Structure 1
Amino acid sequence: MQNRCVNMIAHLFNAPLEENEAAVGVGTVGSSEAIMLAGLAFKRKWQNKRKQEGKPYDKPNIVTGANVQVCWEKFARYFEVELKEVKLSEGYYVMDPAKAVELVDENTICVAAILGSTLNGEFEDVKRLNDLLVEKNKETGWDTPIHVDAASGGFIAPFIYPELEWDFRLPLVKSINVSGHKYGLVYAGIGWAIWRSKEDLPEELIFHINYLGADQPTFTLNFSKGSSQVIAQYYQLIRLGYEGYKNVMENCRDNMIVLKEGLEKMGRFNIVSKDDGVPLVAFTLKDPHNFDEFQISDLLRRFGWIVPAYSMPPDAQHITVLRVVIREDFSRTLAERLVADIEKVLHELDSLTAKIKMLSGTSSVTVHEVVKDNGQVVVAKKSALETQREITAIWKKFVLDRKKLNDKMNGVC
């Protein structure tokens, strides 16, 4: 079943296979293990070539964008590879192919492109990266390859953007990873690593065992693992087929547009995600002076939503983003409900902000009227300290009420 899944996914990614030729790939524990395996293959191929040329092979590096998932940092640290990151910039939250190619040197084992950034779902321009790298390889005599981290986008692009060139149609793309437990529609724990050809996976990394009844080549970091996710992936591929996956992905995209348009109508947010990427909506406040995205995320929990808020990587770390990922079970009704709940949260935060501004917007000494027991009205002065205490009391009550509601929702006595 695993081999059949590998073959189907390889054909989906346009691997240049001859008729009846088996694809090269393996099921993994998520895309993290798949990335580790692909990185090891690149490192070993680079080292073997450097040894043959009589050159140093102790300082490999890999070029990525600063928006890569943490598993790339793990690979670099665990397997002693320098990670050279292309910094982001405000308004451009993926790796710039031109800047990436500038960082490539003779020690670069590969350039990693992302098809579906975790931060905003955007597809990086793998085609442009390939073209620029082809030119640099011609100029330098190097053969720096590309790995595509398609953890999120690998099960999206082939179905709703079939003309987009990002996969094995590009000559420098030598391996691709994809997560079955994201848009492959399988529960958590399954990823896939696919290589362009046998030549791209060094033979010395493959182990052959026969104590299970036949020769079984294996190239994984984990050996003993459950088969349930592989069975589920095989079932989904067979059950849904191309048209089934296409319908699911188109529906996700349609519901994403409903959510995006609902947020845009509020006039309070900037949308930083793209319509032609992973079906998600990433958005940031136009005016974050009164409250921020973290407070919105926190208050949405009251309505049962978990909407993460996070800061962008360098050099866009001053940008804070909220992100909603649209999966196959996120209906149009849920999208409309989320928009309504976000409006409620904004109204609550606006009311709280106005109350605080009313108290803190006065001078250091405020004047107010006091009615004594005898009904006499006198003028009294309130110190700045007293005003601050009132503000603090309002915030404490706000936080306490919120905690009580959260505890009630979670069944805490």
Structure 2
Amino acid sequence: MTNSSYDSDAALFGNRFAVQDTPSRTFPEGGMTAVDAYRLVAEDLVIEGDPARNLATFVTTWMEPDAQRLIAENLHRNFIDHAEYPRTAEIEQRCIRMLADLFHAPGETTGARTQGSSEAIMLGALSLKWNWRTRQQAAGRPTTSPNLVFGGDVHVVWEKFCRYFDVEPRIVPLRPDKYTIGPEDVEPFLDENTIGVAAVLGTTFTGHRDDVVGINDLLVRVRDERDMDIPLHVDGASGGFVWPFLYPDSPWDFRLEQVRSINASGHKFGLVYPGVGWLIFREKADLAPDLVFRENYLGKTDETFTLNFSTGSSMVLAQYYNFVRFGRAGYRYKLQNMQHNAHRLADQLEEMGRFEVIGRDHEQLPLVAFRLAGEAPYDEFDIAWQLSAERGWMVPAYTMPPDAQEVTIMRALVKETFSQEHVDTLARDIAEACATLDAKGGAHPSERAKMVVGPGH
């Protein structure tokens, strides 16, 4: 068959890349039809992991059809161009005001939409550093040795910030029986060069929160007794959209006086596709003014407070859609369903007699963190490998940060689309995976190494 006849047959009957190499190394000389391009990409993704079985990711994997339509209709709008798209800018401000209300801001405040919590944390921590420098200069003290205090239970972005922006990281170690931090852990690390303390609301490791109230009370005492006004930033990447609805009476936000800024990921429990995040300040004075830039080359004078610039409008609009679509009642309903199914999975794991469920009696994200409870001829990595290789589940196994690195944990995240039937199926598959491993022993180390993954974000 000649190339020309093959190409004509492929155009008529199927996909020419069924028996041809796909472009992968050099920039193509010519193009292809839209149908071929679509099939090339779509069929490549057929062998991708199934988001419904990915219990590692916190990121939203489903939105309502009307939200998807709104996203598709606005992919072409550049969010940063406020002169041309002033309604999008207004919708961003509505979201910021609604989140400030949700987080109990005491008065007029400000904030920013970001690509996700990583950018929000970078911006929030930069403001901590700039404000600390201003306080140091006013007191006649040096500004050369800033440090930031946070626990080993944080997202890696906190260490990235310290490395990128020349701040000493003071990392509070964990313990084998304590996977969050409190005031007694933080106090030894504080001094006049501390730009702030970061506390986590819903860790990626076990889903619990740091003792935000205790750390706030410590910082109030340090301010009053030692004349060191050290602000508290709450990393609510996951928990910022959970605690207001599952634990509304639990104070962690601007109800605590030293909490000066909060970040939250809209694309996690804010139930929006990636990527959108939010940074909310307690009041306008908490945003260092030198970090705000004014420019007019997009048509009018505008203020920007971002690390990124051009980005799509769609996810901001999708976030606002969710806020007005669900309201407090809708978010509460969805989160309570997730929590119900997480408790159901925890019950079934405990009934197996093989696992210890970690901290289920404490405030927690809708997930189950668990580990083997006794001796077995295999470990948690073997179970994760068995679930993935033979049953298609992505349930991560990982070691905890120092000084709890000898502890290995598995974690199953329960999201909106993870139904009660899915819970029961997963529990049966875990039991069968353990039975298989009982019979054959653990996986070969080279196979198990493929499954050594971090806690997922």
Q: TM-score, normalised by structure 1?
A: 0.84
Amino acid across the alignment from 2:266: G
- What residue in structure 1 maps to residue 134 of structure 2? 48
User: Over residues 15-58 of structure 1, what are the superposed CA-to-partner deviations in whole Å (9 max), with x where a residue is unaligned?
Assistant: 011xxx4x300110110000000000000011111122221101
User: Over residues 301-332 of structure 1, what are the superposed CA-to-partner deviations in whole Å (9 max), with x where a residue is unaligned?
Assistant: 12110000000011110000000111111111
- What residue in structure 2 maps to residue 300 of structure 1? 387
- What residue in structure 2 maps to residue 367 of structure 1? none
User: Over residues 160-212 of structure 1, what are the superposed CA-to-partner deviations in whole Å (9 max), with x where a residue is unaligned?
Assistant: 21110100010100000000010000011111000011110111110122333
Alpha-carbon distance in 2 for matches of 1:295, 1:84:
34
Alpha-carbon distance in 2 for matches of 1:329, 1:215:
43
CA RMSD of aligned residues (A): 1.6
Cα shift at 1:66: 0.7
Amino acid across the alignment from 1:306: M
**CA radius of gyration, larger in:** 1
Amino acid across the alignment from 2:280: I
Are the aligned partners of 1:89 and 1:315 in contact in 2 as well (CA < 8 Å)? yes
Structure scoring higher RCO (CA < 8 A, sep ≥ 6) equals 2
Moved more, 282-291 or 200-209: 282-291
1:287 to 374, 379, 384: 374
Are the aligned partners of 2:294 and 2:303 in contact in 1 as well (CA < 8 Å)? yes
Are the aligned partners of 1:309 and 1:322 in contact in 2 as well (CA < 8 Å)? yes
Change (3 A) 1:288 1:33: farther
Cα shift at 1:289: 4.2
Are the aligned partners of 2:180 and 2:211 in contact in 1 as well (CA < 8 Å)? no
Structure 1: gaps of 5 or more residues: 357-394, 404-413
Say which SS state the counterpart of residue 154 (structure 1) adopts: helix
2:102 to 12, 29, 44: 12
Say which SS state the counterpart of residue 174 (structure 1) adopts: strand
Are the aligned partners of 2:182 and 2:214 in contact in 1 as well (CA < 8 Å)? no
Alpha-carbon distance in 1 for matches of 2:140, 2:215:
29
- What residue in structure 1 maps to residue 37 of structure 2? none
- What residue in structure 1 maps to residue 221 of structure 2? 135
Cα shift at 1:226: 1.1
User: Over residues 253-304 of structure 1, what are the superposed CA-to-partner deviations in whole Å (9 max), with x where a residue is unaligned?
Assistant: 0000000001000010111143421111010111244100001001101211
Change (3 A) 1:273 1:280: farther
Amino acid across the alignment from 1:178: A
Cα shift at 1:151: 0.5
Cα shift at 1:61: 0.4
Alpha-carbon distance in 1 for matches of 2:276, 2:380:
32
Superposed counterparts of 1:259-338, under 5 Å: 259-275=345-361, 276-301=363-388, 302-338=390-426
Amino acid across the alignment from 1:235: Y
Alpha-carbon distance in 1 for matches of 2:302, 2:283:
18
Alpha-carbon distance in 2 for matches of 1:304, 1:288:
26
Alpha-carbon distance in 2 for matches of 1:118, 1:288:
26
Alpha-carbon distance in 2 for matches of 1:344, 1:285:
15
Structure 2: gaps of 5 or more residues: 1-90, 451-457
Say which SS state the counterpart of residue 241 (structure 2) adopts: coil
Superposed counterparts of 1:143-158, under 5 Å: 143-158=229-244
Alpha-carbon distance in 1 for matches of 2:297, 2:402:
50
1:343 aligns with 2:428: no
Query: Going by fraction, where is strand more abundant, 1 or 2?
Result: 1
Moved more, 273-282 or 55-64: 273-282
Alpha-carbon distance in 1 for matches of 2:253, 2:301:
31
Say which SS state the counterpart of residue 240 (structure 2) adopts: coil
Aligned length: 355
- What residue in structure 1 maps to residue 93 of structure 2? 3
Superposed counterparts of 1:140-219, under 5 Å: 140-219=226-305
